[in-house]
Amino acid sequence: MTTRDPSRSRVPVIVFDGICVLCNGWVRFLLKHDREGRYRFAAMQTEAGRALLAGHGLDPDDPASFLLVDGERAWTDSDAIQRVLTGLGGAWRLAGVIAWVPRFVRDPVYRWIARNRYRLFGTTACHVPTEEERARFL
């Protein structure tokens, strides 16, 4: 039996904080709007999520960022948010304007929210996927 390396997935994988209310809301939003099923998900508390974080230089025990892994490439912070939104297609491609805001402005705002996410939004149990959604989670 071989263990599949999630970093080698041909489908983009989003690593999110499974106990963060904001992060779980983000996943629910994407499940609703990603009608083509482009993205898969891994909670950072899972073995797959921890491996993806560590494999891309993020501390799995103190993650301060959201991670998007697409093949061999990875994005964090506001770049990851912008890439995910534009990847939804349609009107969501307009999220490309995020890139017009200099990274030195948008990333500190993103990181402040990420560092304070539990205090601002709270914690909850991990999103429990429906039967249809289950295949999209690692």
CATH number of the domain where residue 64 is located: 3.40.30
The model's pLDDT over 17-40, given as tens digits with 9 standing for 90+, comes to: 999 999 999 999 999 999 899 999
Please report which confidence band the pLDDT of residue 84 belongs to, taking 50, 70 and 90 as the band edges: very high
- Torsion, CA 65, CA 133, CA 28, CA 138, rounded to 10: -10
Domain for residue 133, yes or no? no
Domain for residue 103, yes or no? yes
The model's pLDDT over 92-112, given as tens digits with 9 standing for 90+, comes to: 999 999 999 999 999 999 999
> pTM for the whole thing?
0.85
pLDDT of residue 128: 76
The model's pLDDT over 37-57, given as tens digits with 9 standing for 90+, comes to: 999 999 999 999 999 999 998
Domain for residue 85, yes or no? yes
Domain for residue 14, yes or no? yes
CA distances in angstroms from 80 to 9, 12, 58, 74, listed in the order given: 17, 11, 14, 8
Total domains present in the chain: 1
Domain for residue 64, yes or no? yes
Domain for residue 138, yes or no? no
Domain of 44? 8-128
Domain for residue 134, yes or no? no
Which has more confidence, 1 or 7? 7
Which has more confidence, 128 or 99? 99
Domain for residue 111, yes or no? yes
